[in-house]
Amino acid sequence: MSNLYIEKAEENILHTYNRYQIVFDHGEGVHLYDVDGKEYLDFAAGIAVQSLGYGHKEYTQALKDQIDKLTHISNLFYTVPMMEAAEKVIKASGMEKVFFTNSGTEAIEGALKAARKYAYERDGEANHEIIAMEHSFHGRSLGALSVTGNEKYQIPFRPLIPGIRFAKYNDLESVKSQITDKTCAIILETVQGEGGVYPVTEAFLKGVKALCEEHDLLLILDEIQCGMGRTGYMFAWQEYGVEPDIMTCAKAIGCGVPVGAFVLGKKAAESSLKAGDHGTTYGGNPFVCAAVSKVFDLYEKEKILDNVRAVGAYLTERLDGLVEKYDFLKERRGKGMIQGIEVEGRPVGEIINRCLENGLVLITAGSNVLRFVPPLIITKEDVDCMVEKLERSF
């Protein structure tokens, strides 16, 4: 049955993804089921999206209830779900203002515009530069691609937006060398995801924050993949005590509906985007905001952060054990439930395909890293099951 669906899909869908040859039908908890009824343990969570797993009754009921009320009305009016979702984002982050988008890429676009508008308000000029990191990933639109530090994604679409400089991640001197009198912001992922799962070091993050304060720059932290509890903190930067001026969110903020956000601290909120500077038709509509609001409620009710810290530590222990056991596993990196294992001398894609054969969903990060971003509700038993399936795939 899967082959028939796949043939139909390839007739009509633009081939911009080399999809795995599986057609998923439904999910329950931490498991997925394809159209042929095969069960898979999911350690990818829709690329770090499905933090609450699949088929969560309270979450789905909240969406059903909102569908019966209102799904869209535009940003020309207020809605209660938007107000409630915004209040919970601000409470969880301790920041000042939020703008809801449709995706993480759009959140990045808004953050870049806010940074440049801040600098324009500051000195009346519009030719400012932004420092981004090598091996970063921020999205596929032209603006987000411009600050993505990977030429493979950029080359076919040049020229991109001007005024972007690249520094080395976790290398403060490299960042310092890129600052000019035109610099207005520094953007980085608190944990690099697509680049190979590299967490920021405390010294680097605090050093970058100090540079921003010294030169009146905005610090933009991309928490699209590593935020919403994945490191054991609601937002990864909270572990370091370094608050950004702008934060981008998406993925698990809605646990399956298309929603993102950029959140502004006091300085950026007071002196950047004003009425008419930015907008979106669908962003923050009542349907997606009902999801966001319920996600924050469920994180608190089900003590998701506590589970990430406990089971994340166990996941770290088991992955470290694999690295010790197998010579072709070079290094484990990550925090909590965003982890990666670097593979040396064996094709990562081959391992992923064998995992799928054995009923385990894993994904890659970069060209040689196995990425582990499971639903945040996994148990230690799920970790043991994953390790057993992974070893069988080896």
pLDDT tens-digit map of 331-340: 999 999 999 9
Residues of the chain with pLDDT under 50: none
Q: Are residues 103 and 159 in the same domain?
A: yes
Residue 51 falls inside a structural domain: yes
Residue given tokens 């300085």 in the structure block: 267
CATH (domain of 183): 3.40.640.10
Specify the pLDDT at position 24. 98
Nearest to 30 by CA among 20, 44, 18: 44
Residue 61 falls inside a structural domain: no
Q: Are residues 110 and 223 in the same domain?
A: yes
Residue 125 falls inside a structural domain: yes
206 is in which domain, residue-wise?
70-301
Out of 247, 274, 301, pick the residue that ends a domain: 301
Cβ atoms 254, 291 nearer than 8 A: yes
Q: Is there a cis peptide before residue 159, judged by omega within 30 degrees of 0?
A: yes
Q: Are residues 89 and 122 in the same domain?
A: yes
Look up residue 265 and give its amino acid.
G
Q: Are residues 27 and 85 in the same domain?
A: no
Specify the pLDDT at position 51. 98
Out of 301, 336, 360, pick the residue that ends a domain: 301
Nearest to 231 by CA among 205, 210, 209: 205
Nearest-angstrom CA–CA distance, 96 and 246:
10
Specify the pLDDT at position 275. 96
Burial of 116 from C-beta contacts in 10 A (0-12 / 13-18 / 19+): buried
Q: Are residues 195 and 289 in the same domain?
A: yes
Specify the pLDDT at position 2. 86
Q: Are residues 184 and 326 in the same domain?
A: no
What is the tally of structural domains in the chain? 2
Sign of the C-alpha dihedral, residues 269, 272, 274, 280? negative
Sign of the C-alpha dihedral, residues 79, 80, 81, 87? positive
Specify the pLDDT at position 13. 95
Residue 270 falls inside a structural domain: yes
Q: Are residues 21 and 138 in the same domain?
A: no
Specify the pLDDT at position 1. 76
Q: Are residues 346 and 250 in the same domain?
A: no
Residue 65 falls inside a structural domain: no
Q: Are residues 278 and 288 in the same domain?
A: yes
Burial of 33 from C-beta contacts in 10 A (0-12 / 13-18 / 19+): middle
Residue 63 falls inside a structural domain: no
Out of 259, 279, 301, pick the residue that ends a domain: 301
Residue 340 falls inside a structural domain: yes
Residue 62 falls inside a structural domain: no
Q: Are residues 192 and 230 in the same domain?
A: yes
Nearest to 265 by CA among 84, 109, 114: 114
Q: Are residues 52 and 167 in the same domain?
A: no
Q: Are residues 292 and 308 in the same domain?
A: no
CATH (domain of 313): 3.90.1150.10
